[in-house]
Amino acid sequence: MLLEITGLCSHYGRIRALDGVDLSVGDSELVAIVGANGAGKTTLLRTISGVQPASDGSIRFRGADITRTPPAKRVRLGIAQVPEGRQMFAPMSVEDNLILGGFTRPRHEIDSSLETVYGLFPRLKERRRQPAGTLSGGEQQMLAIARALMAKPDLLLMDEPSMGLAPRIVERIFDTIRELRSTGVTMLLVEQNAFAALSVADRGYVLESGRIVLAGRAAELLADDRVKAAYLGL
């Protein structure tokens, strides 16, 4: 297993946001996490990246315990995140945002990686001198994904990449996720849009109030009556 999480708990002060989460992601898998607002999805990704401390349980990455590893080190180990709300370096140019995405990479590999992500998002290449904060929402989301890809991660965490975007752009983002998947990038995808997420994923987990309440093949979850009722609006 690339990522193995057992009994993970996390708190905001006295609020328990994660309550014993068990989850795993295998090499080249695309795993989706669905759950209602406030279920703890963002907290889970923040804890995996290390920007939110775990209060109990463990996170193992390629077999090594990283539960207490500082966030910067986890990026070097191969974990990148597309955070909720895009989180641009707003006054800096698109290209600087991308270069910083490759902060942990050897200097000589940056140019070829830039070409790769520009190939994926030609729009970003056109705008590369523009401050990231002046991009449209969809363009910022593309930049957030491209910036995370610059780290050439072994595991890509994505927190609601489709949030607040027009259907056409959402489709474009999911196309990108499929493209990445076909190149073998391992992904853990958090989505409000449970149908879209489970349609591209191999496996899925349903998170409720900080606990995993359902897990299985994505196709099975899509067919599950409880999932249909609670998350697919069927």
Partner 1 sequence: MAEFLQFLFSGLTVGAIYALIALGFSLIYNASHLINFAQGEFVMIGGMATVFLAAAGIELPLAALLAVLLAVAVAIAIERLGIAPAKGASVVGLIIVTIGASILIRGLAGIVWDRNFHSLPAISGEEPLVVMGATLLPQSLWIFGVTGLTALLLWFFFAKTLWGKAMMAAAYNPLAAQLVGIDTRRVVLVSFALAGALGALAGVLITPLAPTHFQVGVMLGLKGFAAAIVGGLGSGLGAIVGGLVIGIAEAMAAGYLASAYKDAVAFVIILLFLVLWPSGLFGLRGIERV
Q: Which residues bind partner 1 (CB under 8 A)?
A: 49-51, 70-72, 75-76, 80-81, 83, 87-92, 96, 99-101, 103-104, 107, 131, 133-134, 147-148, 150-151
Interacting partner of 89 out of ligand ATP, Mg ion, partner 1, none (Cβ under 5 to 8 A depending on kind): partner 1
List phi, psi (to 5°) of 156.
-110, 120
Q: Considering the complex, what minimum distance in angstroms separates the CB of residue 79 from Mg ion?
A: 18
3-state secondary structure of 183: coil
Q: Pick from 30, 32, 39, 221 the residue near ligand ATP by CB under 6 A.
A: 39
Q: Give, as ranges, the residues between 9 and 28 that touch ligand ATP (CB under 6 A).
A: 12, 15, 17
Residues that bind ligand ATP (rule: CB under 6 A) add up to a total of: 13
Q: Which amino acid is at 226?
A: R
3-state secondary structure of 8: strand
- Binding mask 61-100 toward ligand ATP (x if CB under 6 A, else -) reads -----------------------x----------------
Cα–Cα distances in Å, from 176 out to 7, 23, 141, 169? 32, 24, 12, 10
Interacting partner of 40 out of partner 1, Mg ion, ligand ATP, none (Cβ under 5 to 8 A depending on kind): ligand ATP
DSSP state of 204: E
Cβ atoms of 9 and 56 closer than 8 Å: yes
Q: Considering the complex, what minimum distance in angstroms separates the CB of residue 23 from partner 1?
A: 20
Q: Which amino acid is at 9?
A: C
Q: Under the criterion CB under 6 A, does residue 35 sit at the interface with ligand ATP?
A: yes
For partner 1, the closer of residues 149 and 196 by Cβ is 149
Q: Under the criterion CB under 5 A, does residue 42 sit at the interface with Mg ion?
A: yes
For ligand ATP, the closer of residues 12 and 225 by Cβ is 12
DSSP state of 131: B
Q: Considering the complex, what minimum distance in angstroms separates the CB of residue 52 from partner 1?
A: 10
Residue with tokens 């279920």: 39
Residue with tokens 């349980």: 57
Structure token digits, residue 100: 């910083």
- Give every CB contact of residue 63 below 8 A, 6+ residues apart in sequence: none
Residue with tokens 């910083």: 100
- Interacting residue ranges for ligand ATP, rule: CB under 6 A: 12, 15, 17, 35, 37-43, 84, 192
